[in-house]
Structure 1
Amino acid sequence: MTTLQYQCAMSLDGFIAGRDGDMSWLDTGTAPGETNPLVAQVGAVLSGARTYHGDDPNAGTEQEGGYDGQYTGPTIVLTHHVPPSAPPGVTFADDLGKAIELAREAAGDRLVSVLGADVARQCIAAGLLDEVLVHLIPVLLGDGVRLFDNPGGDPVRLEVLESGPLMVRARIVR
Protein backbone atom coordinates (compact mmCIF):
# COMPACT_ATOMS: atom_id res chain seq x y z
CA MET A 1 0.00 0.00 0.00
CA THR A 2 1.13 3.53 -0.70
CA THR A 3 2.69 5.41 2.21
CA LEU A 4 1.41 8.92 3.05
CA GLN A 5 4.48 10.74 4.32
CA TYR A 6 4.44 14.30 5.64
CA GLN A 7 7.69 15.80 4.35
CA CYS A 8 9.06 19.12 5.50
CA ALA A 9 12.07 21.16 6.43
CA MET A 10 11.92 22.69 9.90
CA SER A 11 13.86 25.39 11.68
CA LEU A 12 15.45 24.40 14.97
CA ASP A 13 12.71 26.32 16.81
CA GLY A 14 9.95 24.23 15.20
CA PHE A 15 8.73 26.25 12.22
CA ILE A 16 8.24 24.88 8.69
CA ALA A 17 7.58 28.32 7.22
CA GLY A 18 8.32 31.80 8.47
CA ARG A 19 5.87 34.58 9.17
CA ASP A 20 3.16 34.80 6.47
CA GLY A 21 4.41 31.56 4.90
CA ASP A 22 7.86 32.96 4.07
CA MET A 23 10.20 30.27 2.72
CA SER A 24 13.16 32.48 1.79
CA TRP A 25 15.11 31.03 4.76
CA LEU A 26 15.08 27.55 3.28
CA ASP A 27 18.19 26.09 1.73
CA THR A 28 17.60 22.44 0.88
CA GLY A 29 21.30 21.77 0.47
CA THR A 30 20.80 20.40 -3.03
CA ALA A 31 23.22 22.08 -5.42
CA PRO A 32 22.13 22.88 -8.99
CA GLY A 33 22.45 19.71 -11.05
CA GLU A 34 22.47 17.48 -7.93
CA THR A 35 19.53 15.08 -7.65
CA ASN A 36 17.38 15.28 -4.55
CA PRO A 37 17.15 11.64 -3.37
CA LEU A 38 13.48 11.99 -2.40
CA VAL A 39 12.39 12.64 -5.99
CA ALA A 40 12.71 8.98 -7.04
CA GLN A 41 10.59 7.87 -4.05
CA VAL A 42 7.68 10.26 -4.62
CA GLY A 43 4.85 9.13 -6.87
CA ALA A 44 2.47 12.00 -6.09
CA VAL A 45 2.29 15.15 -4.00
CA LEU A 46 -0.70 16.01 -1.80
CA SER A 47 -0.41 19.70 -1.04
CA GLY A 48 -2.42 22.28 0.81
CA ALA A 49 -3.47 25.37 -1.13
CA ARG A 50 -1.24 27.72 0.90
CA THR A 51 1.76 25.49 0.27
CA TYR A 52 0.94 25.09 -3.42
CA HIS A 53 0.56 28.85 -3.91
CA GLY A 54 3.32 29.64 -1.38
CA ASP A 55 6.65 31.35 -1.40
CA ASP A 56 9.19 29.27 -3.38
CA PRO A 57 12.73 30.16 -2.22
CA ASN A 58 13.93 29.18 -5.73
CA ALA A 59 11.40 31.29 -7.66
CA GLY A 60 12.79 32.53 -10.95
CA THR A 61 15.64 29.98 -11.05
CA GLU A 62 16.06 26.55 -12.66
CA GLN A 63 15.44 25.08 -9.19
CA GLU A 64 11.92 26.56 -8.91
CA GLY A 65 9.21 24.06 -7.96
CA GLY A 66 9.00 20.93 -5.85
CA TYR A 67 12.24 19.26 -4.78
CA ASP A 68 14.37 22.05 -6.27
CA GLY A 69 12.49 21.87 -9.57
CA GLN A 70 13.17 18.15 -9.99
CA TYR A 71 9.65 16.83 -9.33
CA THR A 72 7.39 16.69 -12.36
CA GLY A 73 4.78 14.15 -11.24
CA PRO A 74 1.14 14.55 -10.30
CA THR A 75 0.13 17.06 -7.65
CA ILE A 76 -3.20 17.00 -5.85
CA VAL A 77 -4.07 20.27 -4.10
CA LEU A 78 -6.56 20.24 -1.22
CA THR A 79 -8.44 23.54 -1.27
CA HIS A 80 -11.75 25.12 -0.28
CA HIS A 81 -11.77 26.99 -3.60
CA VAL A 82 -11.44 24.66 -6.61
CA PRO A 83 -10.59 26.74 -9.68
CA PRO A 84 -12.41 26.03 -12.97
CA SER A 85 -9.19 24.79 -14.60
CA ALA A 86 -5.81 23.46 -13.48
CA PRO A 87 -2.28 23.44 -14.88
CA PRO A 88 -1.12 20.14 -16.43
CA GLY A 89 -0.35 17.52 -13.78
CA VAL A 90 -2.32 19.35 -11.07
CA THR A 91 -5.70 18.28 -9.70
CA PHE A 92 -7.66 20.36 -7.21
CA ALA A 93 -9.94 18.66 -4.68
CA ASP A 94 -12.12 20.08 -1.92
CA ASP A 95 -12.47 16.87 0.10
CA LEU A 96 -9.62 15.27 2.09
CA GLY A 97 -10.74 11.70 1.43
CA LYS A 98 -11.04 12.30 -2.31
CA ALA A 99 -7.68 14.11 -2.40
CA ILE A 100 -5.96 11.20 -0.65
CA GLU A 101 -7.66 8.69 -2.95
CA LEU A 102 -6.47 10.60 -6.03
CA ALA A 103 -2.94 10.93 -4.61
CA ARG A 104 -2.71 7.22 -3.74
CA GLU A 105 -3.91 6.22 -7.22
CA ALA A 106 -1.43 8.57 -8.86
CA ALA A 107 1.49 7.42 -6.67
CA GLY A 108 1.10 3.71 -7.36
CA ASP A 109 3.62 1.89 -5.17
CA ARG A 110 5.66 5.02 -4.41
CA LEU A 111 5.26 7.64 -1.67
CA VAL A 112 2.58 10.27 -1.46
CA SER A 113 4.43 13.32 -0.22
CA VAL A 114 2.14 15.36 2.02
CA LEU A 115 3.14 19.02 1.97
CA GLY A 116 1.61 21.63 4.23
CA ALA A 117 1.10 21.69 7.99
CA ASP A 118 -2.68 21.93 7.87
CA VAL A 119 -3.09 19.07 5.39
CA ALA A 120 -0.75 16.92 7.51
CA ARG A 121 -2.76 17.79 10.65
CA GLN A 122 -5.99 16.82 8.87
CA CYS A 123 -4.46 13.52 7.70
CA ILE A 124 -3.33 12.77 11.28
CA ALA A 125 -6.78 13.60 12.68
CA ALA A 126 -8.38 11.26 10.13
CA GLY A 127 -5.92 8.48 11.02
CA LEU A 128 -4.55 8.41 7.46
CA LEU A 129 -0.98 9.73 7.76
CA ASP A 130 1.64 6.98 7.92
CA GLU A 131 4.97 8.76 8.41
CA VAL A 132 6.66 12.07 9.09
CA LEU A 133 10.00 13.02 7.51
CA VAL A 134 11.61 16.14 8.94
CA HIS A 135 14.83 17.76 7.76
CA LEU A 136 16.20 20.19 10.36
CA ILE A 137 17.64 23.43 9.04
CA PRO A 138 20.10 25.27 11.31
CA VAL A 139 18.18 28.53 11.63
CA LEU A 140 15.95 30.05 14.31
CA LEU A 141 12.91 31.79 12.76
CA GLY A 142 11.17 32.98 15.94
CA ASP A 143 7.71 32.97 14.33
CA GLY A 144 5.75 31.30 11.57
CA VAL A 145 3.97 28.06 10.76
CA ARG A 146 4.62 25.31 13.31
CA LEU A 147 5.47 21.74 12.29
CA PHE A 148 2.36 20.47 14.11
CA ASP A 149 -0.04 22.92 15.70
CA ASN A 150 -3.03 21.32 17.40
CA PRO A 151 -3.89 23.28 20.56
CA GLY A 152 -5.90 21.17 22.98
CA GLY A 153 -5.37 18.07 20.85
CA ASP A 154 -4.07 14.71 21.95
CA PRO A 155 -0.40 13.77 21.62
CA VAL A 156 0.58 11.82 18.51
CA ARG A 157 3.02 9.00 19.25
CA LEU A 158 5.80 8.42 16.76
CA GLU A 159 8.23 5.53 16.28
CA VAL A 160 11.58 6.57 14.84
CA LEU A 161 12.36 4.54 11.74
CA GLU A 162 15.48 6.37 10.63
CA SER A 163 17.58 9.26 11.82
CA GLY A 164 20.72 10.93 10.67
CA PRO A 165 22.44 14.25 10.72
CA LEU A 166 19.61 16.78 10.84
CA MET A 167 16.91 14.30 9.67
CA VAL A 168 14.27 12.14 11.34
CA ARG A 169 11.78 9.74 9.72
CA ALA A 170 9.09 8.37 12.02
CA ARG A 171 5.97 6.25 11.74
CA ILE A 172 2.66 7.31 13.31
CA VAL A 173 1.86 4.82 16.09
CA ARG A 174 -1.79 3.80 15.92
Structure 2
Amino acid sequence: MSKVYFGMTLSVDGFVNDRNGHFDRLFETFEPNEELAEMLNNTGAIVMGRNSFNASGDTDSYADSYKFQVPMFVLTNNPPKKHPKENDKLTVTFVNDGIESAINQAKIAAKGKDVAVMGGQVGQQLLKANLADELQITIAPILLGNGLRLFEHLENLEINLVKLRTIETKQQVEIWYKIIRQNTL
Protein backbone atom coordinates (compact mmCIF):
# COMPACT_ATOMS: atom_id res chain seq x y z
CA MET A 1 0.00 0.00 0.00
CA SER A 2 1.37 3.40 -0.91
CA LYS A 3 2.11 6.06 1.64
CA VAL A 4 2.03 9.79 1.02
CA TYR A 5 5.02 11.73 2.27
CA PHE A 6 5.75 15.43 2.20
CA GLY A 7 9.43 16.21 1.78
CA MET A 8 11.25 19.53 1.82
CA THR A 9 14.69 21.01 2.33
CA LEU A 10 14.82 24.08 4.54
CA SER A 11 17.35 26.40 6.09
CA VAL A 12 18.22 26.13 9.77
CA ASP A 13 15.93 29.13 10.37
CA GLY A 14 13.00 27.41 8.63
CA PHE A 15 12.86 28.89 5.11
CA VAL A 16 12.28 26.86 1.91
CA ASN A 17 13.47 29.71 -0.30
CA ASP A 18 15.19 33.06 0.08
CA ARG A 19 13.70 36.57 -0.04
CA ASN A 20 13.79 36.45 -3.86
CA GLY A 21 12.01 33.09 -4.09
CA HIS A 22 15.18 31.14 -4.99
CA PHE A 23 16.00 27.84 -3.32
CA ASP A 24 19.25 26.79 -5.05
CA ARG A 25 21.44 27.80 -2.07
CA LEU A 26 19.67 25.16 0.03
CA PHE A 27 21.15 22.44 -2.17
CA GLU A 28 24.77 23.62 -2.34
CA THR A 29 25.89 21.00 0.20
CA PHE A 30 23.58 18.21 -0.96
CA GLU A 31 25.21 14.78 -0.95
CA PRO A 32 23.50 11.77 -2.57
CA ASN A 33 23.26 8.72 -0.31
CA GLU A 34 21.88 5.19 -0.43
CA GLU A 35 18.71 6.25 1.39
CA LEU A 36 17.98 8.69 -1.44
CA ALA A 37 18.41 5.91 -3.99
CA GLU A 38 15.98 3.74 -2.00
CA MET A 39 13.49 6.62 -1.76
CA LEU A 40 13.67 7.17 -5.52
CA ASN A 41 13.09 3.47 -6.12
CA ASN A 42 10.07 3.38 -3.76
CA THR A 43 8.38 6.49 -5.21
CA GLY A 44 5.72 5.88 -7.83
CA ALA A 45 4.31 9.40 -8.34
CA ILE A 46 4.98 13.04 -7.49
CA VAL A 47 2.58 15.85 -6.54
CA MET A 48 3.80 19.45 -6.64
CA GLY A 49 2.52 22.96 -7.10
CA ARG A 50 2.87 25.25 -10.09
CA ASN A 51 5.65 27.31 -8.48
CA SER A 52 7.79 24.25 -7.76
CA PHE A 53 7.09 22.88 -11.24
CA ASN A 54 8.11 26.13 -12.94
CA ALA A 55 11.18 26.67 -10.72
CA SER A 56 13.45 24.77 -13.12
CA GLY A 57 12.78 27.38 -15.80
CA ASP A 58 12.60 24.71 -18.50
CA THR A 59 9.71 22.38 -17.73
CA ASP A 60 10.70 20.14 -20.67
CA SER A 61 13.87 19.25 -18.74
CA TYR A 62 11.90 17.06 -16.30
CA ALA A 63 11.59 14.35 -18.96
CA ASP A 64 15.33 14.42 -19.60
CA SER A 65 16.95 14.81 -16.19
CA TYR A 66 14.56 14.88 -13.22
CA LYS A 67 15.59 12.47 -10.47
CA PHE A 68 12.02 11.14 -10.15
CA GLN A 69 11.10 9.54 -13.48
CA VAL A 70 7.48 8.82 -12.49
CA PRO A 71 4.05 10.32 -13.20
CA MET A 72 3.87 13.91 -11.99
CA PHE A 73 0.73 15.75 -10.88
CA VAL A 74 0.92 19.54 -10.79
CA LEU A 75 -1.66 21.54 -8.84
CA THR A 76 -2.55 24.69 -10.78
CA ASN A 77 -5.52 26.77 -11.89
CA ASN A 78 -3.63 27.82 -15.02
CA PRO A 79 -2.07 24.93 -16.96
CA PRO A 80 0.46 26.05 -19.58
CA LYS A 81 -0.70 26.35 -23.18
CA LYS A 82 2.16 24.11 -24.33
CA HIS A 83 2.23 20.71 -22.61
CA PRO A 84 5.72 19.87 -21.33
CA LYS A 85 7.83 17.09 -22.77
CA GLU A 86 7.15 13.60 -21.37
CA ASN A 87 8.75 10.18 -21.76
CA ASP A 88 7.68 6.56 -21.24
CA LYS A 89 8.06 6.91 -17.43
CA LEU A 90 7.45 10.58 -16.64
CA THR A 91 4.06 12.01 -17.55
CA VAL A 92 2.68 15.37 -16.46
CA THR A 93 -0.95 15.89 -15.43
CA PHE A 94 -2.24 19.31 -14.45
CA VAL A 95 -4.82 19.14 -11.66
CA ASN A 96 -7.16 22.06 -11.00
CA ASP A 97 -9.66 20.51 -8.58
CA GLY A 98 -7.65 20.42 -5.36
CA ILE A 99 -5.11 18.50 -3.33
CA GLU A 100 -7.45 15.57 -2.64
CA SER A 101 -7.91 14.93 -6.35
CA ALA A 102 -4.17 15.23 -7.01
CA ILE A 103 -3.36 12.73 -4.24
CA ASN A 104 -6.02 10.27 -5.41
CA GLN A 105 -4.77 10.41 -9.00
CA ALA A 106 -1.16 10.06 -7.86
CA LYS A 107 -1.96 7.00 -5.70
CA ILE A 108 -3.56 5.27 -8.68
CA ALA A 109 -0.60 6.12 -10.92
CA ALA A 110 1.91 5.01 -8.24
CA LYS A 111 0.57 1.42 -8.40
CA GLY A 112 1.29 0.67 -4.76
CA LYS A 113 4.50 2.68 -4.51
CA ASP A 114 4.83 5.88 -2.45
CA VAL A 115 3.58 9.32 -3.42
CA ALA A 116 5.98 12.21 -2.79
CA VAL A 117 4.61 15.72 -2.29
CA MET A 118 6.90 18.71 -2.87
CA GLY A 119 6.45 22.42 -2.55
CA GLY A 120 5.75 24.62 0.45
CA GLN A 121 2.24 25.75 -0.38
CA VAL A 122 1.13 22.32 -1.63
CA GLY A 123 2.63 20.75 1.49
CA GLN A 124 0.61 23.13 3.65
CA GLN A 125 -2.56 22.12 1.77
CA LEU A 126 -1.66 18.45 2.23
CA LEU A 127 -1.17 18.85 5.99
CA LYS A 128 -4.39 20.87 6.38
CA ALA A 129 -6.33 18.15 4.51
CA ASN A 130 -4.78 15.44 6.74
CA LEU A 131 -3.56 13.48 3.69
CA ALA A 132 0.10 12.93 4.65
CA ASP A 133 1.42 9.77 6.29
CA GLU A 134 5.01 10.94 6.74
CA LEU A 135 7.00 14.16 6.83
CA GLN A 136 10.61 14.32 5.59
CA ILE A 137 12.66 17.39 6.48
CA THR A 138 16.22 18.02 5.30
CA ILE A 139 18.00 20.82 7.12
CA ALA A 140 20.55 22.65 4.99
CA PRO A 141 23.45 24.38 6.78
CA ILE A 142 22.46 27.95 6.00
CA LEU A 143 20.55 30.80 7.64
CA LEU A 144 18.52 32.69 5.02
CA GLY A 145 16.96 35.29 7.33
CA ASN A 146 13.91 35.78 5.13
CA GLY A 147 11.80 34.00 2.53
CA LEU A 148 8.94 31.50 2.62
CA ARG A 149 8.62 29.60 5.88
CA LEU A 150 7.69 25.96 5.46
CA PHE A 151 5.04 25.86 8.16
CA GLU A 152 3.32 29.23 7.69
CA HIS A 153 -0.46 29.35 7.64
CA LEU A 154 -0.93 26.29 9.85
CA GLU A 155 -2.05 28.38 12.84
CA ASN A 156 -5.11 26.27 13.67
CA LEU A 157 -3.48 22.89 13.21
CA GLU A 158 -1.58 20.77 15.70
CA ILE A 159 0.28 17.74 14.32
CA ASN A 160 1.88 15.06 16.46
CA LEU A 161 4.94 13.35 15.01
CA VAL A 162 7.06 10.32 15.84
CA LYS A 163 10.63 10.23 14.53
CA LEU A 164 11.21 7.26 12.23
CA ARG A 165 14.85 7.81 11.26
CA THR A 166 17.61 10.37 10.94
CA ILE A 167 20.15 10.47 8.13
CA GLU A 168 23.30 12.53 8.59
CA THR A 169 25.84 13.53 5.97
CA LYS A 170 28.88 15.78 6.43
CA GLN A 171 26.80 18.93 6.03
CA GLN A 172 23.13 18.23 6.57
CA VAL A 173 20.57 16.28 8.55
CA GLU A 174 17.45 14.60 7.19
CA ILE A 175 14.68 13.60 9.59
CA TRP A 176 11.71 11.37 8.74
CA TYR A 177 8.57 11.54 10.90
CA LYS A 178 5.38 9.49 10.97
CA ILE A 179 2.32 11.70 11.30
CA ILE A 180 0.29 10.36 14.20
CA ARG A 181 -2.56 12.76 14.76
CA GLN A 182 -3.76 16.12 13.62
CA ASN A 183 -6.03 18.29 15.71
CA THR A 184 -7.76 21.46 14.64
CA LEU A 185 -7.42 24.04 17.38
TM-score where L is the length of structure 2? 0.79
Matched residue count: 165
Q: If each structure's strand is expressed as a fraction of its own residues, which one has the higher value?
A: 2
CA distance in 1, matches of 2:66, 2:74: 18
Residue 46 of structure 1: aligned partner? 47
Residues 16 and 35 of structure 1, relative CA distance in 2, 3 Å threshold:
same
Q: Give the 3-state SS of the residue equivalent to 1:148 in structure 2.
A: coil
Residue 122 of structure 1: aligned partner? 125
What are the Cα deviations for residues 13-58 of structure 1, in whole angstroms up to 9, with x where unaligned? Answer: 1112222320220232239xx99423212111100111111157xx
Residue 85 of structure 1 and its aligned partner are, at CA, apart by 5.1
Residues 91 and 120 of structure 1, relative CA distance in 2, 3 Å threshold:
same
**Seq. identity, %:** 28
Residues 85 and 93 of structure 1, relative CA distance in 2, 3 Å threshold:
farther
What are the Cα deviations for residues 102-152 of structure 1, in whole angstroms up to 9, with x where unaligned? Answer: 111111221111001111111111111111111111111111121211253
RMSD: 2.5
In structure 2, runs of 5+ residues without a counterpart are none
In structure 1, runs of 5+ residues without a counterpart are none
Q: Which of the residues 61, 75, 80 maps onto 1:78?
A: 75
TM alignment of 1:8-157, pairs within 5 A: 8-25=8-25, 26-27=27-28, 28-30=30-32, 36-37=36-37, 38-55=39-56, 65=62, 69-84=66-81, 86-87=83-84, 88=86, 89-95=91-97, 96-150=99-153, 152-157=155-160
